[in-house]
Amino acid sequence: MRLSDAVDRYAAHLADVRRLAAATVRAYGSDLHDLVAVVGDVALTDVDLEHLREWLWTAAKRGDARSTLARRTAAVRGFFAWAADQGLIEADPALRLVAPKRGRSLPHVATADAMSGLLDAARTVADEGDPLALRDAAILEVLYGAGIRVSELCGLDLDDLDRARRTMRVVGKGSKERVVPYGAPAAHALDAYLVRGRPVLDAHDAAGRAVFLGARGSRIGPRAVYDVVARAVGPVVGGAVGPHALRHSAATHLLDGGADLRAVQELLGHASLGTTQIYTHVSAERLAAAYRLAHPRA
């Protein structure tokens, strides 16, 4: 079997059997097709460890980030492990492939006061009644108030909202469902949008059951949500930020307020507690900065 044919079969396996997110399947498929471009469309059984090292080295010389190189390593390891399980190869050449160490950067986080200020500003603009302003205020409140991912927000349907209990059902990574709460400000912003904003955007009743709509009345996409957040949050935290900045801020503020780490893990839908623990580092960094500024013996 040619390498490219095996890559296509593996991508289908990720999508149909493992049911990974479409974006993950595309990223892994792109990585592996780049492997084909570098080493050639050789027979699958001809690929060895030196081919894989050359491929990673080519990406490193091109300037790919360490996180990208780590993802490529994970993609090729998964691919050859699958090929071995399928009996397509006898020996796995990726077993000894070493992934570059990832530098762990702390996420962008806005202070609680800054978040309060920007959300109040969004609500003030929304109070004028513009449907897009009503939608944007609800988006910001929900992303921060529920700590959900942008994909989860874009996928929300009206039936997913329990407005009486102030909870929403979201579908996260790996198609895993969870129910998350949201607070009174998010409830107020959602109610205002659903009553006064969404019907205007859905003037032709073409949106189906989607909660959040774009300017043309169809289900909103991640790019549009990114733009909403970048305009509102970018000036506050500095630099280009996206919807994850609100998720990061929500998690950090929960821990700052004394929330249990495992409760935050469940709220965010993290499979591993280790993923959630990065926010304890954020809180520690902020504590250290406050100490250095305030303590006379710092």
Q: Which of 71, 123, 253, 270 is catalytic?
A: 270
Inform me whether the pLDDT recorded for 104 exceeds 60.
no
Which of 173, 178, 188, 286 is an active site residue?
173
Indicate if the pLDDT at residue 139 is higher than 70. yes
Q: Say what the pLDDT of residue 295 is.
A: 54
Percent pLDDT > 90 in the chain is: 46
Is 166 in the active site? no
Sign of CA dihedral 155, 158, 163, 169: negative
* Active-site residue flag, 244: yes
Looking at residue 61, its pLDDT comes to 76
Active site residue 173: yes
What number is the average pLDDT over the span 135-146? 96
pLDDT in tens, 144-170: 999 999 999 999 999 999 999 999 999
Structural domains of the chain in order of their starting residue, each with its CATH number: 3-85 (1.10.150), 112-292 (1.10.443.10)
- pLDDT number for residue 101: 60
Q: Mean pLDDT lowest for which of 67-71, 72-76, 258-262, 291-295?
A: 291-295
Return mean pLDDT, the chain.
86
Annotation says 108 is catalytic: no
Q: How high is the pLDDT of residue 88?
A: 94
Confidence bin at 282 (pLDDT 50/70/90): low
Q: Which of 108, 247, 248, 253 is catalytic?
A: 247
Q: Is the pLDDT of residue 290 over 60?
A: no
**Closest by CA position to 6, among listed 67, 89, 73:** 89
Query: Which pLDDT belongs to residue 193?
Result: 97
Top-confidence residue, 281 or 193: 193
- Residue that wins the pLDDT comparison between 206 and 125: 125
pTM of the model: 0.63
Of residues 289 and 291, the one with the higher pLDDT is: 289
Q: Is-contact 133 126, C-beta < 8 A?
A: yes
Q: Identify which has the larger pLDDT, 109 or 131.
A: 131
Quick check: 264 pLDDT over 90?
Answer: no
Confidence bin at 283 (pLDDT 50/70/90): low
- pLDDT at site 86: 93
d(CA 144, CA 147): 5
DSSP letters, the chain, are -BHHHHHHHHHHHHHHTS---HHHHHHHHHHHHHHHHHH-S-BGGG--HHHHHHHHHHHHHHT--HHHHHHHHHHHHHHHHHHHHTTS-SS-TTTTPPPPPPP-PPPP---HHHHHHHHHHHHHHHTT--HHHHHHHHHHHHHHHH---HHHHHT-BGGGEETTTTEEEEE-GGG-EEEEE--HHHHHHHHHIIIIIHHHHTTTS-STTBSSB-TTSSBP-HHHHHHHHHHHHHHHH-S---THHHHHHHHHHHHHTT--HHHHHHHHT-SSHHHHTHHHHHHHHHHHHHHHHH-TT-
Catalytic site residue from 178, 188, 219, 244: 244
Q: What would the pLDDT profile of 60-83 be if each residue is shown by its tens digit?
A: 878 788 888 888 899 999 999 999
Check 149, 198, 248, 253 and give the catalytic one: 149
Q: Is 279 a catalytic residue?
A: yes
pLDDT number for residue 165: 93
**Catalytic site residue from 279, 281, 286, 297:** 279
Most confident of the ranges 152-161, 207-216, 245-254: 152-161
Q: Give the pLDDT of residue 263.
A: 84
Quick check: is 149 catalytic? yes
Q: Which residues contact 137 (CB under 8 A, 6 or more apart)?
A: 119, 122, 123, 125, 126, 189, 192, 193
Tell me the mean pLDDT in the region 2-24: 92
Flag the least confident range among 6-20, 101-115, 191-205, 245-259.
101-115
